[in-house]
């Protein structure tokens, strides 16, 4: 349980309120999220992704909510609610703008270009304003579109909505990369790989996790990699935590690797430092663990 600073809707009563994380939905409605946006309580952390040769490929933007009591709330605790109450559209747009402005800032500082991974919730596909926003931001911030990778889960594709296909095609045509996130956890329908123009397939952490202890997980990963490569897709493995997992994935020519073995999600300033050291390091490699 946590103590969270609680402020009443009319701003007259201030005090503390006691709650369990699962009770959060009871006291949070869209007003709380609106206020959180206004007060700048959301923050993006960035988790690096590496290439096989150990160079930095990019980062994935991951949202956190910095509560007034100092606690950092993880997305699992509030994304389902903002998807439910419709605030995902506003917060999703904030995520798009904030991550792309951050990328622009790194480019302006002369740091090596990295790909910015942005998670898009299936709910965001109910409106198409965010597609316009991304394309607009790409132009106005002069960001090469291939430096943007949208991470989309299969839930989006389930209903075979022609509007979804239209939105994905527009993004694709603008040069933005599309990644199928958490592959293997939901429906893993192969027709999605055939019918949608994904560039990258992201193997879910649940498979990476079992590489050492479970022969079947290894076989599944091998098969996914073979399938993806034959379809011309690159593969990212998420949740790499151990040397053994890494060497298995390297042996399978998995293009991109991400996980606590290399780095946890970090604040923007930490990534800035990482990129700065990258420029000044003689071997041109980050992490040096591969
Ligand atoms: P995801 O997109 O699959 O993100 C990967 C999650 O796995 C992140 O958790 C990350 O911190 C965690 N992770 C990465 N490497 C490792 C590892 O080696 N070991 C372990 N145990 N965990 C690892 P996080 O940040 O809590 O995000 C959870 C989920 O919340 C994300 O899953 C994504 O679905 C959603 N999410 C996060 N940020 C956003 C966002 O900006 N927009 C939307 N729509 N969803 C987001
Ligand atoms: Mg993701
Ligand atoms: Mg994922
Ligand atoms: Mg995942």
Give dist(CA 247, CA 253) in Å, integer: 10
Q: Give the DSSP H/E element, type plus range, for residue 209.
A: helix 205-209
CA 151–ligand 2 middle distance (angstroms): 5
Which residue, judged by its Cα, is nearest atom 20 of ligand 1? 239
Ligand 1: which of 238, 258, 287 to mutate, most ligand atoms within 8 Å of CB? 238
CB of 122 within 6 A of ligand 1: the answer is no
pTM of the model: 0.89
ipTM surpassing 0.90, yes or no? yes
Distance from residue 172's CA to the centre of ligand 1 (Å) = 24
Which of 45, 47, 61, 75 for a ligand 1 pocket mutation test, highest count of atoms within 8 Å of Cβ? 75
The CA-to-CA distance between both ends of the chain, in Å, stands at 40
Ligand 1 atom, smallest distance to 45 CA:
25
| Tens place of pLDDT per residue across the chain (290 aa) | 333 333 333 333 334 444 444 445 444 567 788 889 889 999 999 999 999 998 999 999 999 999 989 999 999 999 999 999 999 999 999 999 999 999 999 999 999 999 999 999 999 999 999 999 999 999 999 999 999 999 999 888 887 889 999 999 999 999 999 999 989 887 767 888 888 889 999 999 999 999 999 999 999 999 999 999 999 999 999 999 999 999 999 999 999 999 999 999 999 999 999 999 987 775 555 554 44
Tell me how far apart the alpha carbons of residues 258 and 41 are, in angstroms, rounded to a whole number: 26
Query: CB 274: neighbour CB atoms within 10 A?
Result: 19
In angstroms, what is the span from residue 215 Cα to ligand 4's centroid?
21
Both tokens assigned to 286:
């980050």
> Parallel, antiparallel, or unpaired: how do β-strands 115-120 and 148-153 relate?
parallel
Q: Which two tokens stand for residue 160?
A: 């075979």
Q: Look up residue 161 and give its two tokens.
A: 């909505």
């Amino acid at each position: 349980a946590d103590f969270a600073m609680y402020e009443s809707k009319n701003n007259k009563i201030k005090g503390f309120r006691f709650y369990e994380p699962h009770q959060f939905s009871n006291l949070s409605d869209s007003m709380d999220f609106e206020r959180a946006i206004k007060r700048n309580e959301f923050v993006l952390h960035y988790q690096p992704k590496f290439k096989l040769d150990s160079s930095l490929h990019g980062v994935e933007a991951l949202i956190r909510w910095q509560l007034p009591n100092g606690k950092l709330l993880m997305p699992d605790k509030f994304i389902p609610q903002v998807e439910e109450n419709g605030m995902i559209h506003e917060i999703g747009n904030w995520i798009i703008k904030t991550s792309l402005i951050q990328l622009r800032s790194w480019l302006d500082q002369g740091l090596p270009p990295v790909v910015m991974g942005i998670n898009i919730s299936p709910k965001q596909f109910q409106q198409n304003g965010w597609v316009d926003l991304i394309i607009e931001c790409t132009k106005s911030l002069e960001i090469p579109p291939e430096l943007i990778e949208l991470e989309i889960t299969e839930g989006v594709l389930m209903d075979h909505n022609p509007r979804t296909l239209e939105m994905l095609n527009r993004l694709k045509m603008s040069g933005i990369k599309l990644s199928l996130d958490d592959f293997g956890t939901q429906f893993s329908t192969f027709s999605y790989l055939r019918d949608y123009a994904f560039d990258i397939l992201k193997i879910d952490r649940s498979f990476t996790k079992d590489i050492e202890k479970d022969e079947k997980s290894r076989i599944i990963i091998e098969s996914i990699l073979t399938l993806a490569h034959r379809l011309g897709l690159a593969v990212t493995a998420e949740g790499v935590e151990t040397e053994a997992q890494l060497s298995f994935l390297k042996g399978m020519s998995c293009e991109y690797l991400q996980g606590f073995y290399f780095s946890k999600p970090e604040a923007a300033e930490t990534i800035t430092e990482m990129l700065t050291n990258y420029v000044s390091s003689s071997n041109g490699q980050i992490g040096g663990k591969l």
